[in-house]
Chains A and B, each alone.
Chain A
Amino acid sequence: MTIRRRLLLTCAASGSLLALTCLVAPLVGSTQISLLRALDRSIPFADNVDAQIFFIARMPRVAAGVVVGAALASAGVVLQALFRNPLATAETLGISAGAALGAILAITAESWISLGPFSPVAIASLVGALLAIAVVYLLASAPRRPLSTAVLLLAGVTLNAFISAIILFVQYLADFTQSYRAIRWLIGDLDVGTFAPVLGALPLVVVAFVMFSLLPSSLNLLSVGGDLAATRGVNVVNVQRLAFFSAGLATSAAVSLAGPVAFVGIVVPHLVRLVVGVDHRVVLPVAALFGASFLVGCDLIARTAMAPVELPVGIVTAMIGGPFFLWLLVRRG
Chain B
Amino acid sequence: MAARAKRLIPVAAVACAWAAVLAAQQAPARRIISLVPALTEALYAIGAGPSVVAVSSYDDYPPEVKTLPRVGALLDPDTERILSMRPDLVLAYGTQDALKAQLQRTGIPVFDYRHGGLADITATIRRLGVETGHVSGANRVVLEIERRIAEVRARVAERPRPRVLLVFGREPLSLRNVYASGGQGFLHDLIDAAGGTNVFGDVRRESVQVSTEMLLSRAPEAIIELRVGAPPAGEQARREREAWQRLPGVPAVRSQRVFILHGDHLLVPGPRVALAAEDVARALHPEVFR
Contacts and interface: CB of A to CB of B under 8 A. Distances in A.
B173 interface: yes
Interface of B: 58, 73-74, 76, 168-169, 171-177, 179, 202-203, 205, 208-209, 211-217, 219, 228, 236, 239-240, 246-249, 254
B211 A191 contact: yes
Given A49-B216, A49-B217, 11 more contacts: A49-B249, A52-B249, A112-B236, A119-B171, A177-B168, A180-B169, A191-B176, A192-B176, A303-B211, A308-B203, A310-B209
18 contacts: A31-B214, A46-B254, A49-B216, A57-B213, A57-B215, A58-B213, A110-B172, A119-B174, A120-B171, A121-B174, A122-B174, A176-B58, A181-B177, A191-B213, A194-B246, A309-B208, A310-B213, A312-B209
A73 interface: no
B212 A57 contact: yes
Interface residues of A, number: 42
B212 A112 contact: no
Contact of B174 (A47, A56, A176, A193): A193
Contacts of B239: 112
B107 to A, nearest CB: 30
Contacts of A61: 212
Interface of A: 29-31, 45-49, 52-53, 56-58, 61, 106-107, 110-112, 114, 119-122, 172, 175-177, 180-181, 184-185, 189, 191-194, 303, 308-310, 312
Contacts of B205: 309
Majority-rule SS of A interface residues: helix
Contact of B173 (A112, A303, A308, A310): A112
Given A184-B209, A308-B203, A57 B216 contact: yes
A184 B178 CA distance: 11
B135 to A, nearest CB: 32
Given A112-B239, A192-B176, A193-B246, A53 B217 contact: yes
Contacts of B215: 57
A53 B216 contact: yes
- Which 5 A-B pairs give the minimum distances between C-beta atoms? A57-B213, A119-B174, A31-B217, A57-B212, A52-B249
A272 to B, nearest CB: 30
A308 B214 contact: yes
B177 A310 contact: no
Contacts of A172: 76
A66 B175 CA distance: 21
A110 B172 CA distance: 6
Nearest to A45: B249
Nearest to A179: B75
Contact of A52 (B169, B203, B216): B216
- Residue with the highest number of chain B CB atoms closer than 10 Å, among A56, A61, A185, A312: A56
Nearest to A312: B209
Contact of A175 (B58, B76, B179, B248): B58
A53 B218 CA distance: 11
A172 B57 CA distance: 12
Given A184-B177, A193-B246, A112 B213 contact: no
Contacts of A30: 211, 213-214, 217
A192 B177 CA distance: 10
B213 A31 contact: yes
B218 to A, nearest CB: 9
A120 B58 contact: no
B217 A181 contact: no
A180 B205 CA distance: 16
- Residue with the highest number of chain A CB atoms closer than 10 Å, among B172, B209, B211: B211
B171 A56 contact: no
B192 to A, nearest CB: 20
